């Protein structure tokens, strides 16, 4: 009996950026890579190791009475741990420490 093996793409913890941080990172990536890397999800995943996901979180005001604000964030979902580590090293000056404070495993 043959053993069947499957390739499983386990995602790393996403890197969460603000719109401003993503804009800066995006501009640097746009200078260093062809447009197709940023425009085609599969090419981005293959080359950079991540895909981009926009996320909106509802933050209620203190003394919750139904009022609050949406906070827009950019989540970079990584599929390759070495590429995630390289991304964090390369763009750490833009991302800053505050974005990585919740990055405990």
Q: Is 61 helix (H, G, I), strand (E, B) or coil?
A: coil
58 and 68 Cβ atoms separated by less than 8 Å: yes
Domain parsing of the chain, residue ranges: 15-96
Bigger pLDDT: 7 or 48?
48
- Whether the per-residue pLDDT at 103 is higher than 60: the answer is no
- pLDDT per residue as tens digits for the range 30-53: 999 999 999 999 999 999 999 999
76 and 17 Cβ atoms separated by less than 8 Å: yes
What is the Cα–Cα distance from 22 to 19, expressed in whole angstroms? 5
- pLDDT per residue as tens digits for the range 65-88: 777 888 899 999 999 899 999 999
- pTM confidence score: 0.74
């Amino acid at each position: 009996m043959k053993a069947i093996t499957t390739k499983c793409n386990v995602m790393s913890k996403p890197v969460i950026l603000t719109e401003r941080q993503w804009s800066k990172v995006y501009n640097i990536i746009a200078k260093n890579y062809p447009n197709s890397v940023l425009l085609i999800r599969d090419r981005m995943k293959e080359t950079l190791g991540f895909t981009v996901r926009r996320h909106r979180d509802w933050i209620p005001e203190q003394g919750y009475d139904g009022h609050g604000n949406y906070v827009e964030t950019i989540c970079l979902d990584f599929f390759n741990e070495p590429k995630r580590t390289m991304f964090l090293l390369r763009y750490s000056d833009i991302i800053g420490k505050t974005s990585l404070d919740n990055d405990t495993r």
